[in-house]
Amino acid sequence: LKCLPVYISYATKSGYENSNVYKVEIPENEFGQDMAVGITLKPIVPIITETEVILQPIYFEFNKSNITAEGAAELDKLVAVMNEYPEMVIFAKSHTDIR
């Protein structure tokens, strides 16, 4: 049984959600040749009302002060809004529990 190389890639672009992991197996007959892999990114579309930008909850890693990858993606939505509306003033708050 011969193992084929597997490549893992991530895609990012300003104004778009980061991609999930894409695993690509290179067929033996194409190894060493150029190949293109299509990756679709979703535009960041936050919900904006008259008084707030609505985001999903932003969670912290268990027993750490780091936010999760999903939380970072939500904050990317806020960054996109702030870039689109630079005059916007925001109020952000956070809390953690004893974990």
For the segment 52-80, what is each residue's pLDDT rounded down to a tens digit?
888 888 888 888 888 888 888 888 888 88
User: What tens digit of pLDDT does each residue of 17-32 get?
Assistant: 766 656 666 666 655 6
Q: Hey, is 47 helix, strand or coil?
A: strand
Residues 6 or more apart in contact with residue 50 via CB below 8 angstroms: none
Q: What's the pLDDT score for residue 70?
A: 83
Give the span between the Cα atoms of 17 and 55, in whole angstroms: 14
